[in-house]
Structure 1
Amino acid sequence: MTSQTIYETVLAAPPVPAHPTTQVPFMAEILFTIFLGLPVVVGVFFAIKHLVTGRGPLLAFCLIGGGFACLFEPIVDTLGLCYIREGATLTTFSSMGRDFPLYINFVYIWYVGGLAYLAYRVYSTGVTRKGLFQLYLIDVFINIFLESPGVLMGAYEYYGPQPLNFWGLPLWWVCVNPIMPMTAGALIYRLTPYLPGWRMALVIAFIPMADGIANGATAWPMWTALNLDAPLVVTHLAWLVTLGLALTAVWILSFVVSRPDDEVFTTSKAALLKAAIFGVPDDRRPATAGVNHVAARHKPVADVSR
């Protein structure tokens, strides 16, 4: 590679590329829709089961909220230079001059809404500050797993001077996305004691609110760099700032949801997720932490929301 080519690749400031117009391959769309739809089917099954068995509507509200949160997709795509390829067979809505297929609805329903419920369950089970950062890392890898097939098959693409773009998925995105369900879970954890009866439906609004909070708080350095005709070296520096803001967001959340080490009995990542999904026996529930003293005074509401 010549010095001129290196300069053009790393230091030159290319113009922000025009929005692509590539059509989505039919098979890529269908396979990716099925891939992202399966977790939705599982989530809906358990949401209905919770309603039938008296465990309450919280999971259903989280999934519904995730469905509404997908309306943020055209905003983050425009600012973050992501192109959901058009011409989809299963287009569900249009916004900002772009069409969005069914798989976008699916991914928001289970990644933002479903993982928000799972985060709430983790917080309720009891999590240390270290455990919260481990949950963040788990959500990062979940994000990589769910997005990689889509970009590799050509269902959508990222364009412009994206940092850490090794196989079509710029990894700065996966630093931001986990903050959405983690923040939504924190809102649910702290506020459900104040939401008896029909007020619990406000959880539907918490999910898109958390989406906006997470993206606005952490992604703005990347949005700015990507839309300033910045060279690749600048967008990599912007990624470091975004990563720092994301980790700061997790640290802030730890003051809201984490508990001291001596009050948490489930510490391994596998055991924590198992407890969050299947519950914890009463004799192993952690002592009520200071941050959750409100929930202790409203135990009937907390029981309904499990």
Structure 2
Amino acid sequence: MTLHPAFILAAPAIPAHPTTQMPESAEIIFTIFLGLPVAIGLFFAIRHLLTGRGPLLLMCLLGGALACQFEPIVDTLGLCYIREGAMMTTFSSFGRDFPLFINFVYIWYVGGLAYLAYRIFSNGVTVKGIFQLYVMDVFINIFLESPGVLMGAYEYYGPQPLNFWGLPLWWVCVNPIMPMTAGALIYRLLPHLQGWKIALVIAFIPMADGIANGATAWPMWTALNLNTSLVVSHLAWLVTLGLAITAVWILSFVVCRPDDEVLITSKLGIVKAAIFGIPVDSEPLLQKDIQPQT
């Protein structure tokens, strides 16, 4: 048999886009599940405004809401299908409809965790600490997404690597880079964001979303859209994982301090200090260059 040159050079077909409809119960439960942390974040954002702590947390949450416009882009490239026919559709893009829970997850995972990362960097973090933050965000991502895929609110298709229960774990290697990059931008630029310029934080969040996905996910996007074998997509995942770890390493040069300049090093202590602040009796021990809490 003779193969035509056009056939040899032709790219394999991209996997067919699913058409499964959104289960009503899954949408309701998943929306409530993701809406609770948004409500908590908004409560504290308003509290910060009323107590004079400033609008930074609110700016981060608004930036997360704006960053959800990246969802149709990463879904198309990464072969994720948010099931359509939802009762609470909030926006449409790339020929797809997106339900309310997509807005919620971006508000608190991308925007809220960006604020948390900023607080951690401001309190002081070591190289080991920033990698611990990355691992923590990986597990938060697994926790927030697993109910959605298990209930059928959305699905991944094509030759997805590490897809053990419907959530391809290459995604959770990429996603934490978004809030960590945004937190680093805020940490370094906040002293220059006086007055109305604080609103630029809203733009930092989707900017970090684009930086993180474009810098680390492209090997997986390429492999998935070749409709290739699982062997190739697993190799692509290793490259994406390497790029994600490299991104964390790069951020360490931006935000990290030597071990002897960091007061709090335990994982629980780092998170508690970021949420509740540094204990008053510990403040004199902190280095003078620690950024002010906002």
Say if 2:81 is the partner of 1:106.
no
Match of 2:195 in 1: 197
- 1:21 offset after TM fit, Å? 0.5
Match of 2:3 in 1: none
SS at 2:166 equivalent: coil
Match of 1:45 in 2: 43
SS at 1:99 equivalent: strand
Equivalent pair of 2:15/2:227 in contact (CA under 8 Å): no
SS at 2:165 equivalent: coil
- 1:288 offset after TM fit, Å? 3.6
User: Quick one: distance in 2 between partners of 1:258 and 1:281?
Assistant: 21
5+ residue gaps in structure 1?
Answer: 1-12, 296-301
Change (3 A) 1:14 1:228: closer
Match of 1:271 in 2: 269
User: Quick one: distance in 2 between partners of 1:222 and 1:242?
Assistant: 7
Match of 1:156 in 2: 154
- 1:282 offset after TM fit, Å? 4.4
Match of 1:243 in 2: 241
Equivalent pair of 2:45/2:55 in contact (CA under 8 Å): yes
User: Quick one: distance in 1 between partners of 2:280 and 2:12?
Assistant: 60
Map of 1:132-143 to 2, 5 A cutoff? 132-143=130-141
User: Quick one: distance in 2 between partners of 1:20 and 1:93?
Assistant: 19
* Percent of paired sites with the same residue: 79
- 1:265 offset after TM fit, Å? 1.3
**From 172, 176, 180, the counterpart of 1:174:** 172
- 1:17 offset after TM fit, Å? 1.7
- 1:257 offset after TM fit, Å? 0.3
TM-score, structure 1 normalization:
0.90
User: Quick one: distance in 1 between partners of 2:58 and 2:132?
Assistant: 26
- Letter of the structure 2 residue corresponding to residue 107 of structure 1: V
Residue-by-residue CA offset, 1:123-172 (whole Å, 9 max, x unaligned): 00110000000000000000000000000000000000000000000000
SS at 2:145 equivalent: helix
User: Quick one: distance in 1 between partners of 2:12 and 2:229?
Assistant: 7
- 1:88 offset after TM fit, Å? 0.1
Say if 2:254 is the partner of 1:228.
no
Residue-by-residue CA offset, 1:27-84 (whole Å, 9 max, x unaligned): 0000000000000000000000000000000000000000000000000000000000
Match of 1:117 in 2: 115
**From 241, 256, 260, the counterpart of 2:254:** 256
Equivalent pair of 1:24/1:85 in contact (CA under 8 Å): yes
- 1:248 offset after TM fit, Å? 0.2
Map of 1:17-56 to 2, 5 A cutoff? 17-56=15-54
SS at 2:54 equivalent: coil
Say if 2:209 is the partner of 1:207.
no
Match of 2:5 in 1: none
- Letter of the structure 1 residue corresponding to residue 98 of structure 2: F
- Letter of the structure 2 residue corresponding to residue 190 of structure 1: R
Question: Which of 137-146 and 225-234 deviates more?
Answer: 225-234
Runs of 4+ in 1 over 4 A off after TM superposition: none
Match of 2:129 in 1: 131
Equivalent pair of 2:38/2:107 in contact (CA under 8 Å): yes
Equivalent pair of 1:14/1:231 in contact (CA under 8 Å): no
**From 142, 145, 156, the counterpart of 2:143:** 145
- 1:284 offset after TM fit, Å? 2.4
- Letter of the structure 2 residue corresponding to residue 79 of structure 1: L
5+ residue gaps in structure 2?
Answer: 1-10
User: Quick one: distance in 2 between partners of 1:67 and 1:284?
Assistant: 35
SS at 2:90 equivalent: strand
TM-score, structure 2 normalization:
0.94
Residue-by-residue CA offset, 1:85-110 (whole Å, 9 max, x unaligned): 00000000000000000000000000
User: Quick one: distance in 2 between partners of 1:72 and 1:64?
Assistant: 14
User: Quick one: distance in 1 between partners of 2:111 and 2:67?
Assistant: 8
- 1:283 offset after TM fit, Å? 4.4
Match of 2:61 in 1: 63
- Letter of the structure 1 residue corresponding to residue 42 of structure 2: V
Match of 1:280 in 2: 278
User: Quick one: distance in 2 between partners of 1:288 and 1:282?
Assistant: 15
User: Quick one: distance in 2 between partners of 1:180 and 1:254?
Assistant: 15
